[in-house]
Amino acid sequence: MNSYSFTLAGAALTLLPSGALLWSAEAMLVVSDLHLGKSERFARRTGTLLPPYETRETLARLDADIQATAPRTVLCLGDSFDDAEAAAALAEEDLSWLTRLMAGRSWLWIEGNHDPGPLALGGSHLAQHRAGPLTFRHIAEPGAEAEISGHYHPKARLAARGESLTRPCLLHDAARAILPAYGAYTGGLSCADPVLLSLMREDARAVLLGAPPRAVPLISLSGRPRASTSSR
Amino acid sequence: MPALPPSLDTWFAARGWSLHPHQREMLDRAADPALLLIAPTGGGKTLAGFLPTLAELAPGTHKGLHTLYISPLKALAADIRRNLTRPVEETGLPIRIEDRTGDTSYTKRRRQRADPPHILLTTPESLALLLTYEDAPRIFAGLSRVIVDEIHALAESKRGDQLMLSLARLSRLAPGLRRVGLSATVEDPAAIARFLARHPEPCAVLQADPGPDPDIAMLQTLAPPPWAGGGGRYAIPEVLAQVKAHRTTLIFHNTRAQAEIFFRELWLANTENLPIGIHHGSLAREQRERVEQAMVEGKLRAVVCTGSLDLGIDWGDVDLVIQVGAPKNVKRLVQRIGRANHRYNAPSKALLVPANRFEIVECTAALEAVRAHDLDGDPRGPGPRDVLCQHILATAAAGPFDAGTLYAEVTSAGAYSALTRAEFYACLDFAATGGYALKAYDRYQRLVLKSGLWQLRDPRTAAQIRLNLGTIIDSETLGVRLRGRGAPLGEVEEYFASTLTPGDTFLMGGEVVRYEGLREMTVEVSRAPGRTPKVAVFSGSKFSTSTQLSHRILDLFRQPDWPELPAHTAHWLALQREVSRLPERDRLLIETFPHDGRAHLCLYGFAGRAAQQTLGLLLTKRMEDEGLHPLGFVATDYATLIWGLDEVTDPAPLLDPAALREGLDTWLAGNAVMKRTFRASAIIAGLIDRNTPGRRKTGRQATFSSDILYDTLRKYDPGHLLLDITREEALRGLVSFGRIEEMLSRIASQNDGGIDHARLDRVTPLAAPLLLEHGRVPVEGAARERLVAEAAESLLAAAGLAEADLQPSAPMG
């Protein structure tokens, strides 16, 4: 099966190859950091005219995941739009595509740092959300338990046979999970970054996206010399 | 003819100098609108270029800028300023000379714009930048002459195309501007002349006396060269003996990695501690400057170097050039040989060191070509459109412009003379709107049309355009520093750095260093003397053997015997003729044989490394589609060797040009080579910003990879201009499909189809070295997934875990 399963606070969760997280028991699909309208914001703010196709690429991914998992609830974990103006400037056809995806299911927008405040779209707008044992918020809080968040766009790099492979990844330990960015044009923060290492516990795993996703111990990616080599 | 000022005549006479005939002729023809001087190194080329300027400025009546001198190297501009300032000051001529490069201070650059000197020495990039300022018309109004030094080097790269677009602008700002080009020996002077002249005006070519032929030979060694590989390590004792026998020796290598390895081996054998240095483009500027200074002072007996010493300044008293590895290109060899003995009319001395058995044949062919004055070179094709896109943006930064006027100006540059109006407007549309099929940016167009003139929508973007100016795209590199002391050692490619784990060792500036970690985008290392470096240095690009040199090698194969070759090499070729056959010029030899339990196919295309590599990619893909189970391939300049599970019994259908071209359009389009080409063109054309050092400090990367943009464009906007440009660039660059097509059409003109298929029961003498070559490319549909799995497993194993421990999750913490 092309997915990766783990439990958090007793909830059985599945990471899909796309980076979406499925909570089967609740029929809930969680995606983070869609950054819809990123190219529009870039053009507006910097004058750089990126290929304006990332919104339809991201919606196509989301459409496919929704088709495959038929969730009752879709939860977007913040930074769904690159900013409030980008949401307002969404092309007519992208807007109607999004509306079509939202129809017939509960849709939760968690606020992110890029898109605070209510949006002129349907669905519920929340600062954070609790469901069963789990808390969903955009930015992880130190010391929190049973928390699912996004924001950091974690990515991991592996070196093998002289090749270097970089993939977005999910981080999880007994207390929390941090989701990779789902949007098409999203950079990433190395999961060896001190910010992420300080949030995660020693035994945390990084799960690299792909079909299937692959788990490795986060500590092995941290860049700290391992005992076997540091003594030389 | 403008007379040389008497004071200068006296100054020359006092030094016992008299003008060379070509220097006098430059004075005679000072009024020519364009003039190309071809002269060997040491022929007083630069002075020849400046004599008319000195003559015209001597009366002291000219106000403002008179002559612009452009050099490809910053260091050269500074060096020329010193050399020119001396006679001018000592004779009291009223001439102000200044240089302007990226190293010039902000205050000085501002002052130069307000009050330009008579002679300004600069680089193509600094000139392009100067032209983006609104006051450019005032600065250049009185400009009379422009001198382009080392034009043969500039003509080979996009820097030259950018420069010629700048000259087209200058000719409009300063009507009557005269152009002078200074060039080393080239194969096609007329092509350089067309490149220099304002199209369609003529440009005369002035040939200086080329001087005596070089004294060039193959280095005789005790040990024969190895069967495969590069580096020339077997020749260390003989190279060291040559260094001892000469004053200063330059030892050229084709790649930085080979230079590093050779340098280390040379020092291990250098028991007398002869002062020997190393110089290449990845070393820190401080390191390079120290070596250059030591050379000028005559303190070094030898320098191991790469193309970084191909151009420019007289580095002291070089009396021998050694080329390690086949030169790949006769013209570059001749120019390198010219680095020895900078005294006019004395022969340069050079030695070739073939790195392996096949390179003996290649070096022999190259020696014959040098003796026959038969230089090579491939015509460059039309001016690249990514450079034009950048030029359009730069034009807008200087102020509003009329599209028709700009088109006329651009087509006055030789390389762009065939540019159609439609092609021009497509580039203008890209610069203005992004050029997408989906019109998304009406509100945010970069350029807008107001009362007939194109201009920046937001004038503040001019700063961004200036920051991104230039056509040199370095692979992304990271600085290398010693941990603790912080002394910079040089740089490595970011990709190479990303494959390192702490404890890995590599060579940097001749030292073995140990990778400690990455800190604020700098590779931190410690010295690890005595350790064997286990990781190769840089993945630097390799040159391909030129078409002309390949043809000479094939001609050599036709001889009945080879008395000019060493006995072991002649025997090797004779044996090949006996068991199989030797490749021929207008035919294609394909050998198939079993070896090591696998079926092998060796195709001798002699199309150069890049093309043979592309052929390997395309053929293995076709073989996979045909169910022939290829496992991998390796390519050299002359052949591609493919191995797999099944024997290819009929190779001809695999080489159908239409099918290969289709593979290029579909499958190869997703290849990493294309993505690398796209990135370079996207940066030059202004789609994505250059990574300037300051912007990369933050750990949080707001950047997205150009690979994603490329994939997105291919999916949603396949007709986009930048994809078209990428294809064009790749076909003549990294992919070299042009040479594959040239080879296929040559053999197709034979009556019998031109393919010689030799089925053999064992590996042939000519194919054997290929089995030892590095750079094998595995063919696996899901190769990258497999690598992820392998790497993940080894990390788990290192952590004492197994996959079962992770799926499904056990309670943790």
Is residue A67 in a domain? yes
Cβ(B796)–Cβ(A165) below 8 Å: no
Tell me what pLDDT residue B718 has: 93
Question: Are A165 and B784 a contacting pair at CB < 8 A?
Answer: yes
What domain range includes position B151? 6-207
CATH number of the CATH domain containing B221 = 3.40.50.300
In B6-144 the beta strands, taken as DSSP E runs, fall at 34-38, 67-70, 97-100, 119-122
Is residue A70 in a domain? yes
- With cut-offs at 50, 70 and 90, classify the pLDDT of residue A216: very high
Last residue of a domain, one of B181, B207, B233: B207
Residues B225 and B362 placed together within one structural domain of the fold: yes
CA distance B698 to chain A (A): 10
Tell me what the mean pLDDT of segment B361-380 comes to. Answer: 87
Residues B626 and B495 placed together within one structural domain of the fold: no
Peptide bond into B529 cis (omega under 30): no
Helix (H) or strand (E) holding A8: strand A4-8
Taking the C-alpha atoms of residue A172 and residue A148, their distance in angstroms, rounded to an integer, is 9
Name every residue whose Cβ is closer than 8 Å to that of residue B538 and which is 6 or more positions away in sequence: B255, B256, B257, B282, B492, B493, B496
Q: Which residues of A touch B719 (CB under 8 A)?
A: none
- With cut-offs at 50, 70 and 90, classify the pLDDT of residue B807: very low
Does A85 score more than 90 pLDDT? no
Picking from A53, A167, A230 by the largest number of B CB atoms within 10 A of its own CB, the best residue to mutate is A53
Is residue A229 in a domain? no
Cβ(B20)–Cβ(B48) below 8 Å: yes
Is residue B189 in a domain? yes
* Radius of gyration of chain B from its Cα atoms, rounded to whole angstroms: 28
Tell me what pLDDT residue A226 has: 39
Residues B349 and B322 placed together within one structural domain of the fold: yes
Taking the C-alpha atoms of residue A189 and residue B680, their distance in angstroms, rounded to an integer, is 24
Residues B106 and B170 placed together within one structural domain of the fold: yes
Is residue B553 in a domain? no
Tell me what the mean pLDDT of segment A53-60 comes to. Answer: 95
Does B527 score more than 50 pLDDT? yes
CATH number of the CATH domain containing A134 = 3.60.21
Which of A48-52, A178-182, B654-658, B806-810 is most confident? A178-182
CA distance A75 to chain B (A): 23
Does B786 score more than 80 pLDDT? no
Residues B19 and B52 placed together within one structural domain of the fold: yes
Residues B145 and B195 placed together within one structural domain of the fold: yes
Question: Are A5 and B809 a contacting pair at CB < 8 A?
Answer: yes
Domain count along chain B: 6
Residues B311 and B436 placed together within one structural domain of the fold: no
At B105-156, the pLDDT tens digits run 899 999 999 999 999 999 999 999 999 999 999 999 999 999 999 999 899 8
Question: Are A229 and B699 a contacting pair at CB < 8 A?
Answer: no
Does B776 score more than 90 pLDDT? no
Taking the C-alpha atoms of residue B347 and residue A78, their distance in angstroms, rounded to an integer, is 73
Cβ(A74)–Cβ(A23) below 8 Å: no
CA B176-B180-B186 angle, 5° bins? 145
Tell me what pLDDT residue A231 has: 30
Residues B311 and B233 placed together within one structural domain of the fold: yes
Parallel/antiparallel/unpaired status of strands B34-38 and B588-595: unpaired
Is residue B520 in a domain? yes
Does A70 score more than 90 pLDDT? yes
Domain count along chain A: 1
Residues B649 and B662 placed together within one structural domain of the fold: yes
Does B75 score more than 80 pLDDT? no
**A55-64, B347-356, B390-399: range with lowest mean pLDDT:** B347-356
- With cut-offs at 50, 70 and 90, classify the pLDDT of residue B344: low
Mean pLDDT of chain A: 89
- With cut-offs at 50, 70 and 90, classify the pLDDT of residue B666: confident
Is residue A130 in a domain? yes
At A111-128, the pLDDT tens digits run 998 887 666 788 999 999
**Helices and strands of chain A, counted as H and E runs:** 6, 16
Is residue B572 in a domain? no
Tell me what the mean pLDDT of segment B36-62 comes to. Answer: 89
- With cut-offs at 50, 70 and 90, classify the pLDDT of residue B534: low
Tell me what pLDDT residue A195 has: 93
- Residue B645, classed as helix, strand or coil, is coil
Last residue of a domain, one of B207, B225, B250: B207
Sign of CA dihedral B783, B789, B794, B795: positive
Picking from A48, A85, A195 by the largest number of B CB atoms within 10 A of its own CB, the best residue to mutate is A48
At B279-296, the pLDDT tens digits run 887 888 788 888 888 888
> For B458, which residue in chain A has the nearest alpha carbon?
A47
What domain range includes position A29? 4-222
Is residue B540 in a domain? no
Is residue B551 in a domain? no
- B425 part of contact set with chain A, CB < 8 Å: no
Tell me what the mean pLDDT of segment B708-734 comes to. Answer: 90
Helix (H) or strand (E) holding B555: helix B547-557
**A8-12, B677-681, B703-707, B805-809: range with lowest mean pLDDT:** B805-809
Tell me what the mean pLDDT of segment B25-32 comes to. Answer: 94
DSSP code string of A116-167: -S--SSSSEEES-EEETTEEE-SS--TT-SSEEE-SS-EEEEEEETTEEEEE
Residues B365 and B491 placed together within one structural domain of the fold: no
Q: Which residues of A touch B433 (CB under 8 A)?
A: 49
Is residue A228 in a domain? no
